A = this chain, B = another copy of it.
Amino acid sequence: MTVKIAVAGASGYAGGELLRLLLTHPEVEIGALTAASSAGTLLGTHQPHLAPLAGRVLAETTAETLAGHDVVFLALPHGHSAEVAAQLGPDVLVVDLAADHRLANPADWQRWYGGEHAGQWPYGLPELPGAREKLVGTKRVAVPGCFPTGGSLALAPALAAGLVEPDVTVVAVTGTSGAGKSLKPNLLGSEVMGSASAYGVAGKHRHTPEFAQNLSGAAGKPVTVSFTPVLAPMPRGILTTATAPLIGDVDENTVREVYEKAYDAEPFVQLLPAGMWPATASTLGSNNVQLQVGVDADAGRLVVICSIDNLTKGTAGGAVQSMNLALGFPEATGLSTVGVAP
């Protein structure tokens, strides 16, 4: 079975990564590619790495250009995404890479994004407890944010098993592509290279309520989240450091067992052997999540380190994985478990 897909927002980084993956997906035919200000130009101008599609002309993002496809991926700014989604029929599989359909609570949407809440869709992080079932056969998918992807998988097992207090601290070091192809001075190569910087500090980053929603779900009770993103001089990758106070005397073996049990059957999650710590380069270009756990007995804390590629597992790979589940393809179709390193 071949499905025809469209990508709205094909000139951006998320759109480009989607196309990189879909080009090798055996069940997919690539249909319309749309853009906003770049409509009418060649895809090759914006994505010279997608050689087989270099001659494709970008269409405008309208209901018409997106019609006639089995799957529509929306790699659009939030707000615009829900608007376009509302014009797509109920039989089309719509995979939304923006934030519009992630949050359950309209009040959270109002506070963090503003405007009317578009409603919640099945959440495209199948490794979270309860998530995979909702994705099978669905026609609507909300792809997780890149930060909550890594951070939620890092802490969910410990919270679900009651190993830690529901009071977590997450510092996530990210590559610059997470900020998109935005023409801002602080994203220029000259500013970024050789520099680490913080932003959205002290509960100001919009991924914070998504973290809380995921982790509270895993814990079965409200979880407090302190989240700090740090921009590092690399194009891709997120290295998450997640810590929480341990409840009672828990040793590393106990923690390892909990994480092994949680992720043993997962095709894309690897708990590294004891003594090895994750590096983002090892997951680059793959859909993998590499984890390591540590117990700091002095501080009474669990520390989990987690590496993903923000554009692959954190965005486009998660989207394709969810599409596979929605359409009944084997979950790993078209996705790699091998990173591109060094």
A residues sitting closer than 8 Å to B (CB atoms) are 13, 16, 20, 23-24, 42, 44-52, 54, 167, 169, 171, 173, 175-177, 179, 181, 183-199, 201-204, 208, 224-226, 228, 230, 232-237, 239, 241, 243, 270, 272-273, 276-286, 288, 290, 292, 294-301, 303, 305, 307, 336-342
Complex: how many Å from CA A236 to CA B47? 19
Complex: how many Å from CA A184 to CA B45? 13
Q: Is the CB of B273 within 8 A of A303?
A: no
Residues of chain B lying within 8 A (CB to CB) of residue A199? 277
A51-B338, A203-B299 given; A196·B280 CB < 8 A: yes
Partner of A189, one of B176, B203, B280: B176
Q: Is the CB of A284 within 8 A of B340?
A: yes
Partner of A181, one of B185, B202, B288: B185
**What's the nearest-Cβ distance from chain B to residue A269, in Å?**
10
Complex: how many Å from CA A276 to CA B47? 12
Q: Is the CB of B303 within 8 A of A191?
A: no
A176-B193, A232-B232, A276-B45 given; A198·B338 CB < 8 A: no
